Amino acid sequence: MSESYDVIIVGGGPAGLAAGLYAARMNLRAVLLDRGPLGGQLLNTELIEDYPGFESILGSELAMKMGEHARTFGLDIREFEPVLEVDVQDHEKIVKLESGEELRAPALIMAAGGLPRKLGTPGEAEMAGRGVSYCAVCDGAFFKGQELAVIGGGDAALEEGDFLTRYATKVYVIHRRDSFRAQPVLVERAKANPKIEFILDAQVKEIYGEHKVEGVRYVKDGEERDLKVGGVFIFIGFLPNSDLLKIHVDHEPAGYLLTDRNMQTSVEGLWAVGDVRAQLTKQIATAVGDGTTAAVAASQYVEHLRDKERPSK
């Protein structure tokens, strides 16, 4: 079974929902697909305090409001509809669903986001949202006056660790190696911060706590040690969901898709928005801007194709 649309949006986070809202408002036949409930990474953030217009709002509530807003303009939203792969044939975008259905459209907006790489240690999943976080900008303010642990040794770990010292009394950076993968300038900045202490050559074995994070157990020099902290921030990488694309699209080594100023990728009629594309910051406000830009560009593209198909007078 195959169904045709003007534009298909893969992903139901803020970027996808903004794209869907604008596409529907511009009278495009648009469908949004998400493998789970609407919201994307919004659903992993309990309280949001940095999205304009909302002094404080639950992530799940903001996701619901965005979904309802898009639906009022007629956007076809399909939750719990996993995408198997995205292909292109003769410039037509083909989305194959795990259900076996195929959707086709001349324009496609990839808003599939990605996921933080997990440690996989005991206690990580159990304490998610109760002291375990993957975003310092999102959650740092909830840990004022506490001692925190940051796990990782790349740019994100040191940048976010430095950011957390705005709130924390102490930040321990735990890294499994004796040297960092981060840029030297970030390493030097972290070393110069009196609130940051490094624990190197250490392997985290457990994150523990009864109702919230109370500490981390790690092994260093063959000895198990205990570190009392009120929160654990994990920055060991992010995995963009760009592997859904079964065609070559220009991307960074880590898989983030490269776009022009209109969010279009190297493939005509294919846009990338939000966390799946290469960008400076992963924030709700920037994701919404990405989605808006892509939807307007996609509308112009679809209209251009229609003009070409109209008979000349």
Q: Which residues are catalytic?
A: 135, 138-139
What are 63-71's contacts with CB under 8 Å, separation 24+?
Answer: 63/17, 63/37, 63/38, 63/39, 64/38, 64/39, 66/14, 66/17, 66/18, 66/21, 66/38, 66/39, 67/12, 67/17, 67/38, 67/39, 69/17, 69/21, 70/17, 70/20, 70/21, 70/24, 70/32
The pair phi, psi for residue 297, each rounded to 5°, is -65, -40
For residues 291 and 258, the answer to whether their CB atoms sit within 8 Å is no
